[in-house]
Amino acid sequence: MTNFDLSRPDSRVRLHEQGRSPATDPDPDPRPTVLAMEGIGKSFPGVRALDGVSFDVRAGEVHALVGENGAGKSTLMAVASGALAADEGTIRIGDAELTHPHPEMARSLGLGIVRQHPALLPDLTVAENMALGVGYQRVGGLGRAVRWAQQTLDPWEMGISARARVADLSMERRFIVEIAKALALAPRVLILDEPTEHLNVDEVQRLFDRVRQTIADGAGVVYISHRIPEVKQIADRITVLRDGQTRGTFDADTVDEERIVERVVGRKLETVFPPKSTVPSARERLVVTGLSGPGFQDISLAVRAGEIVGLAGVQGNGQADLIRALAGLAPTSGSVEVDGRAVRGGNAAAAGAGVVYVPADRHGEGVFLPLPVSENIVARTLHKVSSLGMVRDDRVKAAAEAQIRGLAIKTPSAAAPISALSGGNQQKAVMARTLLSEPKVLLAEEPTQGVDAGARVDIYTILRDAADAGAAVVVLSSDGVELEGLCDRVLIMSRGTIVSELTGDGVTEEAIARAALTSTTLRAQADPARARRGGLRGWLAGDQPPAAVLLAVVAALGLAVGLHNSDYLGAFNINNLLFLVAPLLFVGMAQQVVVLGAGFDLSVGPLMGFLVVIASFWIVDGGNLFLGLALMALGAIGVGVINGALVTWCGVNPVVATLTVYMALQGIYLSLRATPGGIIFPSVADDIRAHFGAVPLVTVIAVAVALLLELALRRTRWGVELRALGSEPEAAERLGVNIRLVRFSSYVVCSVLVLPASIIMMAQIGIGDGRPGVSYTLSSVTVVVLAGASIFGGRGSFLGIIAAAVLAQQLVNISPFLNLSPSWGYWLPGLITVAAAVLYARLRRTRRTGAAA
């Protein structure tokens, strides 16, 4: 049992109670105020998040903001940073008032912020994230972003490559990127929201050194943390928030931890940890023998029923890899047994054996953010709330409300979205789901990460109750005090192996730290061969490998068919093939643009038909070529505007919106041309068919457009912001990206790219008929998938679109040369598309495993 330190005197506490201004202090600080917030109020449906809060930061000081999860700390800082608009109150940054809340305005006034959940875009590189976060002008443009970012990151000695994709970085490296990005702004006010939750001791000290340098340069720092010892170490003043109200401001050097904690939770905490087991069971519930996997090797351990065993060690020594492997989330060799039965077959087999895993990444792996609290709680035990395979709402509600009451989860109701809860209450919901599943083995990775003092006590009790109910509990924690107070035994890991075991009275914070540090003093150097593989691994993590693979397939397939039938490589067939590729390439690029922004456009095919029908009234004898082209352009832009408006400003799902436009366009062109009619100018069709040797001019133009789009995607603000939108729209918006404008523009650009595709199709069919365009919708999706783009947005390459369009048309073209039936023109693209999707999925999984290792 561990108590808070009560030995520090608090007789000199200088406390500003709620309603008193720091200006009333008899000895006011002469330093200028760099951030002043007065009477801030903010409400959400059913919740008063902030109630008349006043807070200020002076130049050259660290002002800590502490409180329980849900106290209003992050909301207050979101208001300060312009990410949220206050309902009432004023904010001043330096001498200027933040009159129009927006992250870009706050940033321009000198405010930088490191959020509890990093505002990083996983599908963008580190350099692109940093350039987007600090502004393109500050880094000298995207062309210089890589060098600038690398110079900014190197002092942290974390081995972070500016060219690496953020999705491939570990969580601690992501936080370093976020912190380095904020410091690079040279801010007048720097907000650090839980900056050390994912950092080890050395990294924390590096951060503190940078913070001290920042305040020495005259800036003010807001430091938000649940770790009171860290707050005491770095802060000059401490303000406590509880239930959206200020509960006091203290001088950090004159107040003890107990006083702060009491103010935070609103009550005295007599004890922190529940009593440990006095008579542990002799039954070994979890037995691991010779287990090896990415990041660890030859692990053998046993955990008895009713016992809590801790995993400790310097961060990155295999603890996280081991606990995830025990949950079946990583490939392993060796054996894992639960109650004497071997567990094989990954996560599903582990779960079936009674193994339950509580992940450290609560948002990414722990909760289902779109779903309500009740459905999150019962997600693992749907069979208990179902009847004849149908989920019963009354049972879901009853089960959830029982857990909400029992674990004191603060939520407006069981039906409230879990995203509206604080981090601590989200974690309690995860623990409630765990308890409902009655685990035999409970694996908890950093269970109190980002959780306030009061919630920590509750979670410790939950873990001990699970053990007392007969579970074998394994806890991975970087907090030595937590391991000391909670665990019956602690295993110390170094370089992927267990090097020490502490039991009984030997489980102390000092002993844990000593064992971890002593065992890592002879840490081996990095494998040079592995380091050399980084260049290839980095390339494989990019967006271009699919293009290289597809071009290789195109070449091999062309050579094989050419050897079978020499006519295949003749000029006539090459010209015909490439001419048919051109519209497919344009429509594939069009689809790619909206997919990169996490959208979808089903209307591209009917739009082609609609534009051809328009042309058939004007680009004909007695018509006007230029007027016809102008009307086609207006039609394309108009459809793009309609699609963009429906998706962006009306909030209609992209599939629903574009499907509606799909059907409307079909109805329009069939009304205009119920049967084909209107012969296109033969001279215009001949001009469109112009070629250099065997290569059509329109195909050359299409490839040139694809190359320009690829350049724009990597080197222009529009391209970076489009990928940012598709990668993580909320984070992109917090970084100042106008996501509505970017999303709207993607649909307009998509429709504009359909225009040349329709002109080429017009020359191919030579008559006003909209029906041939319909098939291009499916073809555009096929090309995007073949090109290796993520259908969820953020990742893709227009070079891949070039290769995919050629391959897709080639698969249709080869059937006659191999004497295959026409049906193979459908089967081959389908089979290749499925094979490509499986290959890309496995490649990405391999890259993630390699990055973790």
Q: Which of 194-203, 374-383, 566-575, 837-846 has the lowest mean pLDDT?
A: 837-846
Quote the CA–CA distance of 540 and 546 in Å, as a whole number.
Answer: 9
Q: What is the dihedral of CA 319, 320, 324, 325, to 10 degrees?
A: -40
> 807 with 786: CB under 8 angstroms?
yes
For residue 241, pLDDT over 70 is answered with yes
Per-residue model confidence (pLDDT) at position 58: 94
One-letter identity of residue 655 = V
Mean of pLDDT values over 2-6: 35
| pTM of the full structure | 0.69
Six token digits for residue 301: 């351990």
- Residue 28: pLDDT band with limits 50, 70, 90: low
Q: Cα 648 from chain centroid?
A: 21
> 377 with 371: CB under 8 angstroms?
no
For residue 345, pLDDT over 90 is answered with no
The string of DSSP letters for 276-342 reads PPSS--S-EEEEEEEEEETTEEEEEEEEETT-EEEEESSTTSSHHHHHHHHTT-S--EEEEEETTEE
For residue 528, pLDDT over 50 is answered with no
Q: Nearest-5° angle of CA 336, CA 339, CA 342? A: 35
Cα–Cα distances in Å, from 579 out to 264, 279, 757, 766, 785?
71, 80, 11, 14, 22
How many CA atoms lie less than 13 Å away from 696 in the CB half-sphere?
24
> 311 with 491: CB under 8 angstroms?
yes
Mean of pLDDT values over 368-378: 86
> 726 with 794: CB under 8 angstroms?
yes
- Could you read off the pLDDT of 774-794 as tens digits, one per residue? 999 999 999 998 888 888 888
Per-residue model confidence (pLDDT) at position 593: 97
Residue count of the chain = 853
For residue 260, pLDDT over 90 is answered with no
Positive or negative, the CA dihedral 612, 614, 617, 618 is: negative
- Could you read off the pLDDT of 664-696 as tens digits, one per residue? 999 999 999 999 999 988 888 889 999 888 899
Burial 230-249 (b: 16+ CB within 10 A, else e): bbbebbbbbbbbbebbbbbb
Cα–Cα distances in Å, from 149 out to 122, 130, 177, 205, 472?
16, 7, 9, 22, 45
Per-residue model confidence (pLDDT) at position 294: 83
One-letter identity of residue 588 = G
Percent of the chain with pLDDT over 90: 35
Candidates 260, 242, 262; CA nearest to 252 is 260
In order of their start, the domains of the chain are 1-110+187-264 (3.40.50.300), 120-181 (no CATH), 284-517 (3.40.50.300), 538-852 (1.10.3470)
Candidates 336, 335, 332, 337; CA nearest to 318 is 332
Mean of pLDDT values over 540-545: 68
Per-residue model confidence (pLDDT) at position 268: 52
Per-residue model confidence (pLDDT) at position 760: 95
Six token digits for residue 170: 């570990």
Q: Cα 630 from chain centroid?
A: 42
Quote the CA–CA distance of 808 and 826 in Å, as a whole number.
Answer: 10
- Residue 24: pLDDT band with limits 50, 70, 90: very low
Mean of pLDDT values over 133-143: 81
Quote the CA–CA distance of 454 and 267 in Å, as a whole number.
Answer: 9
> 590 with 753: CB under 8 angstroms?
yes
Quote the CA–CA distance of 757 and 702 in Å, as a whole number.
Answer: 9
